[in-house]
């Protein structure tokens, strides 16, 4: 019997109650993978792609695609929660932790603004992206990240609503002062903790 068969069988026996405790208030369990994009899917060629750390840093840092791929990658299994109320359990990703990236710059910042191809932005306190809480992922379920889900690379911040997980991410701007990103300036909550139902401004 192969290992794969055993682990599938084990997962199949998981009791529904185990799942219920993992779905935040007001969310439902989704088995598909919806695509939610505020604009068209960008298609930046890998040769033109880079990832940058900018802003209030002593020396900005930039990785080409090959340099980014050469960074140590981690495999993570996470539950994700969209503010439109779907949650998806045990999603598998591979990517570089934001800890690994930020080790490369000297800075005094308190917040990051993730920025993406197409102009999307989202803001996060440093404490929500350090300490093994956030990754820049380039693979999903063992395959290169599909363009509609943010490929070649997206941010993954699974403990916050999924709008914080910027697709087509191209870098992080480090700042001392917080500033709202795309959805945050349109009335969504500045923080977005699904367990506290921080959906909209004032929640
Ligand atoms: N660049 C970019 N990133 C984005 C978005 C977007 O419109 N543009 N939508 C956000 C929202 S609201 C959600 S729920 C997730 C959706 O990711 P998915 O399409 O892979 O499910 O991406 C987030 N990241
Ligand atoms: Mo979303």
Residue 62 lies in a domain: yes
Closest atom of ligand 1 to 36 CA is 19
Residue 28 lies in a domain: no
Can you give the pLDDT at residue 144? 98
Residue 163 lies in a domain: yes
For residue 163 and ligand 1, the question of a CB distance below 6 A is answered with yes
Which ligand is located closest to the Cα atom of residue 140?
1
Torsion angles phi and psi, residue 164, rounded to 5? -75, -15
State pLDDT tens for residues 58-113: 999 999 999 999 999 999 999 999 999 999 999 999 999 999 999 999 999 999 99
Which ligand is located closest to the Cα atom of residue 38?
1
- DSSP 8-state code for residue 42: P
Can you give the pLDDT at residue 14? 54
Closest atom of ligand 1 to 167 CA is 3
Can you give the pLDDT at residue 20? 78
For residue 167 and ligand 1, the question of a CB distance below 6 A is answered with yes
Closest atom of ligand 1 to 120 CA is 1
For residue 88 and ligand 1, the question of a CB distance below 6 A is answered with no
Mutate to test the pocket of ligand 1, among 36, 40, 87, 119 (most ligand atoms within 8 A of CB): 36
Residue with tokens 């996470």: 78
Which ligand is located closest to the Cα atom of residue 182?
1
33, two tokens? 């993978």
Which residue is closest in CA terms to ligand 1's atom 9? 37
Contact 60, 54 (CB under 8 A): yes
**Exposure string over 73-107, b if 16+ CB within 10 A, otherwise e:** beebebbbbbbeebbbbebebbbbbbeebbeebeb
Contact 181, 113 (CB under 8 A): yes
Nearest CA among 171, 152, 170, 160 for reference residue 94: 152
Q: What is the pLDDT along the chain (203 residues), one digit of tens a residue?
A: 334 444 444 554 555 567 879 999 999 999 999 999 999 999 999 999 999 999 999 999 999 999 999 999 999 999 999 999 999 999 999 999 999 999 999 999 999 999 999 999 999 999 999 999 999 999 999 999 999 999 999 999 999 999 999 999 999 999 999 999 999 999 999 999 999 999 999 99
For residue 42 and ligand 1, the question of a CB distance below 6 A is answered with no
Tally of structural domains, the chain: 1
Nearest CA among 127, 128, 110 for reference residue 55: 110
Residue 42 lies in a domain: no
Q: Which residues fall within 8 angstroms of residue 161, CB to CB, at 6 or more apart?
A: 81, 82, 83, 188, 189, 192, 193, 194, 198, 199
Residue 13 lies in a domain: no
Which residue is closest in CA terms to ligand 1's atom 8? 37
Burial class for 152, CB neighbours closer than 10 Å (0-12, 13-18, 19+): buried
> What range does the domain containing 159 cover?
48-196
Can you give the pLDDT at residue 187? 98
Can you give the pLDDT at residue 16? 58
Residue 85 lies in a domain: yes
Q: Residue 109: which CATH number?
A: 3.90.420.10
Can you give the pLDDT at residue 1? 35
Can you give the pLDDT at residue 168? 98
Helix (H, G, I), strand (E, B) or coil at 192: coil
Residue 4 lies in a domain: no
Please list the residues that pair with 125 across neighbouring strands.
111
Can you give the pLDDT at residue 9? 46
Torsion angles phi and psi, residue 19, rounded to 5? -70, -40
For residue 186 and ligand 1, the question of a CB distance below 6 A is answered with no
Can you give the pLDDT at residue 18? 75
107, two tokens? 């800075």
Residue 135 lies in a domain: yes
pTM metric for this prediction: 0.93
């Amino acid at each position: 019997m192969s290992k794969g068969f055993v682990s599938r069988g084990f997962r199949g026996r998981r009791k529904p109650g185990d799942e219920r405790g993992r779905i935040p208030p007001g969310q439902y369990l989704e088995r598909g993978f919806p695509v939610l994009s505020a604009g068209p899917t960008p298609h930046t060629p890998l040769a033109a792609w880079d990832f940058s750390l900018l802003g209030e840093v002593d020396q900005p840092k930039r990785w080409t695609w090959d340099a980014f791929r050469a960074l140590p990658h981690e495999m993570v299994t996470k539950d994700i929660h969209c503010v439109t109320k779907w949650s998806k359990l045990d999603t598998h990703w591979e990517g570089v932790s934001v800890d690994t990236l930020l080790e490369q710059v000297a800075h005094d910042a308190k917040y990051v603004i993730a920025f993406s191809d197409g102009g999307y932005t989202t803001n996060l306190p440093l404490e929500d992206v350090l300490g093994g809480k956030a990754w820049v992922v380039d693979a999903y379920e063992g395959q290169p990240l599909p363009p509609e889900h943010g490929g070649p690379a997206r941010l993954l911040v699974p403990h916050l609503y999924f709008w914080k997980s910027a697709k087509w991410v191209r870098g992080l701007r480090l700042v001392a002062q917080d500033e709202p990103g795309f959805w945050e300036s349109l009335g969504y909550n500045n923080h977005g903790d699904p367990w506290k139902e921080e959906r909209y401004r004032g929640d």
